[in-house]
A and B are shown apart, each in its own frame.
Chain A
Amino acid sequence: MIPYAFKYHRVTSLADAQALFAKSPEAKFLAGGQTLIPTMKQRLANPPELIDISAIADLDFVRLSDDKLVIGAGVRHGDVAASKDVMSAIPALGELAHTIGDPAVRAVGTLGGSIANNDPAADYPAAALGLGATIVTTKRSIAADDYFTGMFETALEDGEIVTEVSFPIPARAGYAKFYNPASRYAMVGVFVADFGSTARVAVTGAAPCVFRVNSMEAALTKSFATQAIETITIAADNMNSDLHGSAEYRAHLVSVMAKRAVQNALNR
């Protein structure tokens, strides 16, 4: 498959990326391209210009401090999964990265690309929302609660580039994912985090956009145990329904995956 023609630019600094975008506001930023390139091949996307930001060295870092783990937007999924800092601070995040796609996709796809795209079935949005991360861009810092706004939609403005994601370090966290067996995307993925005084629960794959489950958070805040959410069910009203599973099936999976995620967190 051959995409529509476009003009390609490779930049090595954010300043150059922004300068190019100012001249060509129809351009798209290219990071790992593991979603954008297949989409362009199917001719579902037709950007006249691509600004390749994957060679910006400033976006490729993992920085660990006492209470947070900051990951550059250009870090590849495979490098997140292999990072000693990630695995020591938030092992659930490294394990989540390891479940994305396959090894060749993880060798190229980036954290920034994933959350900028905000695919309804992507894994990283669950971690960002479940951990209450802060998304840092070329313009500002955005709380995850305000960042993921809809299906493939985020708070990002035209030309705004995600530069890093700052994850608060929880006491414990867990992720559980029911794979679509063909694509490895999440049919339903649930990320739970226990911060001691509060618990957070974020669900991906089930609905048009990642979302939190307040009832489960309240129960887990009181008692971080699978029994605490044993009887909590989720309404099927806003769930996705497609050939892979009905809305009712996905709603059921949310409860099952949430319990497994809590168990995963407790197993550490």
Chain B
Amino acid sequence: MAAVSMTVNGKAVREDVEDRTLLVYFLREHLRLTGTHIGCDTSQCGACVVHVNGRAVKACSMFAVQAEGANVTTIEGLAKDGKLHPVQEAFRENHGLQCGFCTPGMIMTAVDMIARNPDLTREKIREGLEGNICRCTGYHNIVSSIEDAAKKMAGGAA
């Protein structure tokens, strides 16, 4: 057991965990932030994507102790003051989800993708979603949601 400290969604947290505790279990079971999902648990599906120090990573493929001192953002940390993040809003408007299981990972990947790519195309969005699987096969509207969010966020910044 080791004490691990990090900032999660702007809040400092400190918990005793086993060294082998994966970040996704730390978030879900220690912090009760169950918005981050475990899909395949083999680093393929992307349902567990969170941001660690500004990079979108798969929380099932990282130990909590590796995030010592890190700044972590989960799906719960996107909305501010009761207002949805523009990407969340775009997923709602464009029906970017069906069963919703993959949605937290899709949105966390999308936020990172939009931040890194100022000129997203539908093709680039599809390529950027390589590590996220939607078992409802609802990709068309997911791509539309991200395209819409990117446009609106660029407009807001200008």
Q: Name A's B-contacting residues (CB within 8 A).
A: 1-8, 10, 30, 33-34, 37-38, 41, 50, 52, 54, 78, 101-105, 107-108, 182-184
State whether A7 touches B128 (Cβ < 8 A).
no
Expressed in whole angstroms, the minimum distance between the Cβ of A30 and any Cβ of chain B is 8
User: Looking at the complex, which one of B18, B20, B63, B131 makes contact with A105 (CB distance below 8 Å)?
Assistant: B131
Q: Which residues of chain B have C-beta atoms less than 8 A from A1's C-beta?
A: 41-42
State whether A6 touches B19 (Cβ < 8 A).
yes
Selecting from B49-57, B80-88, B142-150, the interface stretch reads B49-57
State whether A4 touches B43 (Cβ < 8 A).
no
Q: Which residues of chain A have C-beta atoms less than 8 A from B12's C-beta?
A: none
User: Looking at the complex, which one of B19, B41, B42, B61 makes contact with A33 (CB distance below 8 Å)?
Assistant: B61
Q: Name B's A-contacting residues (CB within 8 A).
A: 2, 18-20, 22, 41-44, 46, 49, 55-58, 60-63, 65-66, 68, 109, 112-113, 128, 130-132
How many Å lie between the Cα of A4 and that of B21 in the bound state?
10
How many Å lie between the Cα of A183 and that of B44 in the bound state?
8
How many Å lie between the Cα of A184 and that of B132 in the bound state?
13
State whether A104 touches B20 (Cβ < 8 A).
no
Q: Which of B55, B57, B66 has the most CB of A within 10 A?
A: B66
Q: Do A102 and B66 contact each other (CB < 8 Å), given the known contacts A2-B20, A8-B19? A: no
State whether A6 touches B56 (Cβ < 8 A).
no
State whether B58 touches A104 (Cβ < 8 A).
yes
User: Looking at the complex, which one of A50, A108, A183 makes contact with B57 (CB distance below 8 Å)?
Assistant: A108
Expressed in whole angstroms, the minimum distance between the Cβ of A100 and any Cβ of chain B is 10
How many Å lie between the Cα of A244 and that of B109 in the bound state?
29
Q: Do A37 and B61 contact each other (CB < 8 Å), given the known contacts A5-B18, A104-B109, A184-B130? A: yes
User: Looking at the complex, which one of B43, B55, B65, B130 makes contact with A38 (CB distance below 8 Å)?
Assistant: B43
